Structure 1
Amino acid sequence: MSRQSYEFTSESVSEGHPDKVADRISDEIVDLYFREAIKEGMDPWSIRVAAETLCTTNKVVIAGETRGPASITPDRIEQLARDAIRDIGYEQDGFHWKHCDIDVLLHPQSVEIAQGVDNGTGLHAEEGAGDQGIMFGYASSDVPVALMPAPVYYSHRILERLAFARKHEGQDWLGPDSKSQVTVRYQDGRPVEATAIVLSTQHLDASLTSAEIRARVQPYIEEVLPTGWITDRTIWHVNPTGKFVIGGPDGDAGLTGRKIIVDTYGGMAPHGGGAFSGKDPTKVDRSAAYATRYLAKNLVAAGVAPWVEIQVSYAIGVAKPTSIYVNVDDNNPIKGDKIETIVREVMDLTPHGIRKHLDLNKPIYAPTSAYGHFGREPGPNGEFSWEQTDLIDEIKARL
């Protein structure tokens, strides 16, 4: 952003949004393949998953390509999907974890794709990218604890807080499906207030009015947002259509990978052509997006710039990126070409290098399926490894 004073809006959707139900099931499948491979002594580097999910009224269809343990049967995939739907909270007539019909249509990965990815095969005889494409990473000093753009960060945190209240604090009148949207006013380049808040939340008590729902959810929103951001000028729209009882896949069909801007930076930075969920890390759509976020976050954390945007590109079957581009503010003392040199030195951006550096061959993906892939806390089992800021010293040494 070159302007210093403006308003910017981002949205989020909850784990019960139909698209996020699909993302969750797809990512649970990725985790299952890694978990079972490790348990059975199979090399996790050989796992391949590209799982797509469609969900609608009491129906789930899972399709795609896999390679992994023979012990993973369609029945196991079906049970995994039911468990995910139950954990999200769907026990409604139109979408129930126990009663919905589930079709599993997974089949082996194409040998022609595999030869470009497997080490020692294919035209280039190296572990190449699982597809061509462009990927972007971004970090911003808006929210110091997360180095994320403020509008999308707080949109996520609102829904995460409501989900916690629904599951753990007795607010079971809330349904699993919800959407948030936060408009933030920037002054002199810094976020200073929320000028508009939009929340649509499924409610299982059909008698509640929009005003009553706002009164119930506003304390949670105020808890999440920085002190002073909500003022008497803040515009509120809570369940602006009125009733929202029919939700989730019963209200609207869901598909894997349809919330890619929600998954990344809320529109504050570009997004590449591919979604993340349901893909193993040979797919650079996912792993290179994680790597560029990791690099951008470390660069901002090291004080290189208040915001950094990185683009990389790949050719299918080829290991090295076809390009690396770094964008910073025109007035930043350290220019993009200098930062590009640093990026090339501190991380191997081949698919193999990314998977190794970030330790991605693990069952760590289901938690990414809701509330953003970025701006999260690294977990004890390797979850969100790309959110670590362990390159700061290496970066500073090269400045």
Structure 2
Amino acid sequence: MARANYLFTSESVSEGHPDKVCDRISDEIVDLFFREGEKAGIDPYQIRVACENLATTNRLVIAGEVRGPALSQETIIETARKAIKDIGYEQKGFHWRDVAVEVLLHAQSADIAQGVDSSGNKDEGAGDQGVMFGYACTETPELMPAPLYYSHKILEVLAAARKAGIGDAAKLGPDAKSQVTVRYVDGKPVGVTQIVLSTQHIDETLTSEDVRAIVEPYIRKTLPQGWITEETVWHVNPTGKFVIGGPDGDTGLTGRKIIVDTYGGAAPHGGGAFSGKDPTKVDRSAAYAARYLAKNVVAAGLADRVTIQLAYAIGVAEPLSIYVDTHGTGKVPEDKLETVLSQVMRLSPRGIREHLQLNKPIYARTSAYGHFGRTPDADGGFSWEKTDLVDKLKAAFA
């Protein structure tokens, strides 16, 4: 039996966190290859990008394997600088204009390509082995776990106010972390017992109390009414001054915030990061597909909570296994649901890319505030958040 009354905590980090700076640049380069590939007349199914970044004081290193349009180092460097500028870094130790950028991108390995590419009667294979998980629950309208969803929203709202220069929010810096502890009663989220926020500030005179006065109104508006009470404990900039932030204060790497990117620890994780990878990499595309299926299962009323696992082998098109766990909330047999899910969506790498239309420059926007629980965009961004399988799923169990 699942526990009914408990506390659960999840964290988020802002777009200016050192690791998220690297995620953003990696995804900007994925988008760049898709955009420039289209201009060059290259089949988007032939684009390959695996891009990693390391950022530290006044230094950015971009490395990885690519296939697609011939892009100059100047174009790649300019793309990185624009991303850093948009995030908001103009400080002495990390400035979009002055940071030294080294580009170490090279051609994708032919040994990997032969397993992934289609040829003759062979369909595209998975870009690597691994397991991916998707999850959905009824805790929020977006069918996401409440602790992570609201940790994301707090930082997203503060970033928007900072960038817009609204009042004292303009005194905040790009680097920030949040953490929310949610109290559950009878298995449902009902309130917040602890709120943690550490945010960089440009004004060196600000105290922790000053920062709380700036951020508290935004946090109160973000959380559901009644969730913050007199018993809620606040930890705002608990270490005191936070002026030196971003890669100047701490080295960043692509792919280090995989729990922040997914479900905040409320669901399993296969271990693979998303950012910097084109959708032949099932670490990314199959995780999106698993979330898509899980969200549709819950939206269809077939379960209040569901975890889906997909497993792949490099060079093999079809998943090795599909596993469904409805955690005792299912309205239909789990084994039948596993069969139905494989029928409503083809789960090969190419099938996923076609169904979710992933061969597009839609990835930079995913690099902060979570890959899941977002609103689908008109241009195909966050297509995995659609609930357009609901009717098919209901019909399969009618």
Q: Could you tell me the TM-score, scaled by structure 1's length?
A: 0.98
Matched position secondary structure for 1:128: coil
User: Displacement of 1:331 after TM fit?
Assistant: 5.2
1:117 aligns with 2:116: yes
How many angstroms apart in 2 are the aligned matches of 1:156 and 1:332?
28
What's the % identity of the aligned pairs? 68
Segments of 4+ in structure 1 off by > 4 A? none
Q: Which amino acid aligns with 1:16?
A: G
Aligned twin of 1:209: 207
Aligned twin of 2:353: 355
1:135 aligns with 2:127: no
| Structure 2: stretches of 5+ with no match in the other structure | none
> Deviation digits for residues 33-70 of structure 1, max 9, x if unmatched?
00011122110000000000000001000000000111
Aligned twin of 1:69: 69
Aligned twin of 1:294: 292
Aligned twin of 2:223: 225
Aligned twin of 1:333: 331
> Deviation digits for residues 221-278 of structure 1, max 9, x if unmatched?
0010000000001010000000100000000000000000000000000111210000
1:185-204 correspondence runs (5 A): 185-204=183-202
User: Displacement of 1:309 after TM fit?
Assistant: 0.4
> Deviation digits for residues 132-170 of structure 1, max 9, x if unmatched?
0000000010002x1000000000000000000000143
1:21 aligns with 2:16: no
Aligned twin of 1:106: 105
1:301-312 correspondence runs (5 A): 301-312=299-310
How many angstroms apart in 2 are the aligned matches of 1:151 and 1:181?
8
1:244 aligns with 2:238: no
1:93 aligns with 2:89: no
Matched position secondary structure for 2:331: coil
User: Displacement of 1:335 after TM fit?
Assistant: 2.6
Alignment match of 2:146 (pick from 150, 155, 177): 150
Aligned twin of 1:2: 2
Contact (CA 8 Å) 1:294, 1:388: kept in 2 or not? yes
Q: Which amino acid aligns with 1:323?
A: S
User: Displacement of 1:334 after TM fit?
Assistant: 1.7
Q: Which amino acid aligns with 1:189?
A: G
Matched position secondary structure for 2:61: strand
Alignment match of 2:312 (pick from 301, 314, 327): 314
Aligned twin of 1:256: 254
| Structure 1: stretches of 5+ with no match in the other structure | none
User: Displacement of 1:74 after TM fit?
Assistant: 1.1
How many angstroms apart in 1 are the aligned matches of 2:48 and 2:330?
41
User: Displacement of 1:329 after TM fit?
Assistant: 1.9
Aligned twin of 1:159: 155
Q: 286-295 vs 324-333, which deviates more?
A: 324-333
How many angstroms apart in 2 are the aligned matches of 1:342 and 1:3?
30
Q: 366-375 vs 163-172, which deviates more?
A: 163-172
User: Displacement of 1:126 after TM fit?
Assistant: 2.2
Q: Which amino acid aligns with 1:2?
A: A
How many angstroms apart in 1 are the aligned matches of 2:334 and 2:253?
37
How many angstroms apart in 1 are the aligned matches of 2:6 and 2:368?
28
Q: Which amino acid aligns with 1:67?
A: R
Contact (CA 8 Å) 1:57, 1:251: kept in 2 or not? yes
Contact (CA 8 Å) 1:16, 1:177: kept in 2 or not? yes
What is the alpha-carbon root mean square deviation over aligned residues? 1.0
Q: 162-171 vs 360-369, which deviates more?
A: 162-171
How many angstroms apart in 2 are the aligned matches of 1:26 and 1:331?
38
User: Displacement of 1:318 after TM fit?
Assistant: 0.3
Q: Which amino acid aligns with 2:260?
A: V
Question: Structure 1 residues 91 and 331 mapped into 2: Cα distance closer, same or farther (>3 Å)?
Answer: closer
Q: What is the aligned length?
A: 395
How many angstroms apart in 2 are the aligned matches of 1:154 and 1:274?
24
How many angstroms apart in 1 are the aligned matches of 2:133 and 2:329?
21
How many angstroms apart in 2 are the aligned matches of 1:268 and 1:280?
26
Alignment match of 2:170 (pick from 169, 172, 182): 172
User: Displacement of 1:3 after TM fit?
Assistant: 1.0
Contact (CA 8 Å) 1:328, 1:335: kept in 2 or not? no
Question: Structure 1 residues 110 and 392 mapped into 2: Cα distance closer, same or farther (>3 Å)?
Answer: same
User: Displacement of 1:106 after TM fit?
Assistant: 0.1
Question: Structure 1 residues 281 and 245 mapped into 2: Cα distance closer, same or farther (>3 Å)?
Answer: same
How many angstroms apart in 2 are the aligned matches of 1:335 and 1:5?
27
Matched position secondary structure for 1:172: helix
Contact (CA 8 Å) 2:258, 2:271: kept in 1 or not? no
Aligned twin of 1:364: 362
How many angstroms apart in 2 are the aligned matches of 1:247 and 1:296?
37
Q: 335-344 vs 306-315, which deviates more?
A: 335-344
Q: Which amino acid aligns with 2:119?
A: G
Matched position secondary structure for 1:267: coil
How many angstroms apart in 2 are the aligned matches of 1:2 and 1:328?
12
Q: Which amino acid aligns with 1:314?
A: Y
